[in-house]
């Protein structure tokens, strides 16, 4: 969607890419020719920033510029603005770029109201934003479905606006998405116990678009670049958080990082034909549990977390039958992991070891040593395999 149409952010390719790189995530994205977009979390942050600025000054910045976690500074055009005594509302239209995202074109609204000094920032779910009703998500039951990174982004921007215009920074943010409850029926939210609408998501603020053929081609190019640079250790990562983890763990340079996304099979099959000495696979625990179960495509539309499979691994790790049944009935993979951690059952390590063995099976004896790191949403390692 163009800025002239009233939504989206300006400078999409430049802001999302940041700089030219010989390898790694940025180079892969440029190689695909696909246009990145903006997460609901980025849109909510832009709307919140504009609304709070108007609450303090009487004027809405349009476009409104925000700073994303990696330093990019996209500018969002406002699609709606309203200022009344005691509150202000702003909205932007989500532009998902070339990604087939069900929330593309959705209107994300933020309404801000001042609170008493010391109250901090309080989040509320308005129409079209869900509420958490089950354990196992990175939010407490009863909380609005606004994930931790978007919350942090909004708090940081509220602080900046308060410092600039003399506010206290104590405020209530009510987020809503037009037709969000209807859109959410096409997502996993109802199954996860998120009722009433969509989640406000994102860890980088950027939607990385995936066309299967284009992204698989970019993975191959990434392997070629790493080999040409003489890299002997590369990492296949499911996203930006796992990239940060392997860089912190192993000190790998950018051109040794492969943004495999959901395409674990594509990485393994290409490395089988074009070997490197060592391949680390790093990703979220739930996603890599799919690899452990034998899935090569980790996308939620094409494979799901098998809690029965996790229960069988837990039994192998010493879980009694009661715990195994609780794991099998867990709401999410994270909930299953937490249940096992409380009982000192190393489910994370078991998933990592099994995922490594599945990867080795795909490599079919190619001279590539493999290890696997499972992480949580914060990037903390919750399971690891040995190198084999």
pLDDT of res. 144: 97
Q: pTM for the complete prediction?
A: 0.68
32 contacts 46 by C-beta, under 8 angstroms: no
pLDDT reported for residue 330:
94
- In a 10 Å sphere around its CB, with 0-12 CB exposed, 13-18 middle and 19+ buried, how is residue 33 labelled? exposed
Same domain, 181 and 217: no
Residues 228 and 331 in one domain: yes
> Of 190, 207, 224, at which residue does a domain stop?
207
User: Which pLDDT tens digit goes with each residue over 338-358?
Assistant: 999 999 999 999 999 999 999
**Statement: residue 2 has pLDDT above 60:** no
Residue 337 has pLDDT above 80, yes or no: yes
Within this chain, do residues 155 and 236 fall inside the same structural domain, yes or no? no
What is the average pLDDT across 173-193? 91
Whether the pLDDT of residue 155 is over 80: the answer is yes
Helix ranges restricted to H, the chain: 12-17, 25-32, 40-57, 148-165, 180-184, 189-192, 212-228, 240-250, 264-273, 285-292, 307-316, 321-328, 333-342, 347-363
Note the pLDDT tens digit of each residue in 299-325: 767 778 999 999 999 999 999 999 999
Name the domain count of the chain.
2
Q: In terms of domains, do 191 and 264 share one?
A: no
Confidence at 176, pLDDT banded by 50, 70, 90:
very high
**pLDDT surpasses 70 at 5:** no
pLDDT, tens only, 15-30: 333 334 467 767 777 7
Same domain, 94 and 39: yes
Would you say 330 and 307 are in contact if contact means Cβ atoms under 8 Å apart? yes
Same domain, 58 and 145: yes
CA-based nearest residue to 304, from 188, 155, 135, 161: 188
Alpha-carbon distance 35 to 191, whole Å? 30
* CATH number of the domain where residue 167 is located: 3.30.2110.10
Report the chain's mean pLDDT, rounded to a whole number: 90
Residues 106 and 179 sit within 8 Å (Cβ to Cβ): yes
Give the end of a domain, one of 207, 241, 265: 207
Q: CA 92, CA 72: separation in Å to the nearest integer?
A: 18
For residue 39, what are the domain limits? 3-207
**Residues 182 and 247 both lie in one domain:** no
Among 152, 184, 207, residue at a domain's last position? 207
Q: Are residues 157 and 253 in the same domain?
A: no
Label residue 216 by pLDDT band (50, 70, 90): confident
CA distance 163 to 133: 36
Q: Hey, CA dihedral for 323, 324, 325, 329, is it positive or negative?
A: positive
Provide the pLDDT for residue 22: 61
């Amino acid at each position: 969607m163009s800025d002239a149409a009233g939504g989206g952010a300006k400078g999409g390719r430049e802001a999302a890419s940041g700089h030219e790189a010989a390898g790694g995530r940025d180079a892969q994205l440029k190689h695909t020719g696909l246009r990145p977009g903006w997460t609901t979390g980025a849109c909510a942050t832009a709307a919140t920033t504009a609304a709070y600025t108007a609450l303090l000054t009487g004027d809405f910045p349009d476009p409104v510029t925000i700073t994303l976690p990696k330093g990019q500074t996209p500018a969002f055009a406002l699609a709606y603005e309203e200022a009344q005594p005691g509150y202000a509302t702003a909205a932007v239209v989500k532009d998902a770029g070339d990604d087939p995202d069900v929330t593309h074109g959705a209107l994300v609204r933020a309404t801000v109201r001042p609170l008493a000094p010391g109250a901090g920032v309080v989040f509320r779910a308005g129409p079209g934003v869900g509420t958490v009703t089950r354990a196992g998500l990175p939010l407490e039951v009863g909380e609005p479905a606004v994930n931790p990174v978007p919350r942090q982004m909004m708090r940081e921007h509220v602080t900046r606006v308060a410092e600039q215009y003399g506010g206290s920074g104590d405020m209530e943010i009510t987020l809503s998405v037009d037709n969000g409850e209807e859109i959410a029926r096409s997502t996993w939210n109802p199954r996860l116990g998120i009722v009433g609408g969509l989640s406000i998501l994102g860890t980088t603020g950027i939607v990385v678009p995936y066309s299967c053929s284009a992204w698989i081609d970019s993975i191959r190019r990434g392997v070629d670049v790493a080999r040409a640079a003489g890299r002997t250790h590369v990492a296949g990562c499911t996203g930006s958080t796992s990239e940060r983890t392997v860089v912190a763990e192993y000190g790998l340079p950018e051109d040794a990082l492969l943004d495999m996304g959901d395409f674990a099979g594509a990485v393994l099959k290409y490395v089988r034909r074009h070997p490197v000495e060592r391949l680390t696979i790093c990703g979220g625990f739930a996603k890599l549990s799919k690899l452990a179960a034998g899935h090569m495509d980790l996308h939620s539309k094409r494979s799901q977390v098998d809690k029965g499979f996790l229960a069988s691994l837990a039994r192998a790790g010493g879980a009694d039958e009661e715990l195994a049944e609780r794991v099998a009935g867990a709401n999410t993979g994270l909930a299953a992991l937490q249940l096992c951690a409380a009982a000192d059952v190393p489910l994370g390590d078991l998933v990592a070891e099994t995922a490594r063995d599945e990867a080795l099976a795909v490599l079919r004896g190619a001279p590539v040593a493999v290890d696997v790191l499972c992480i949580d949403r914060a990037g903390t390692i919750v399971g690891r395999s040995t190198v084999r």
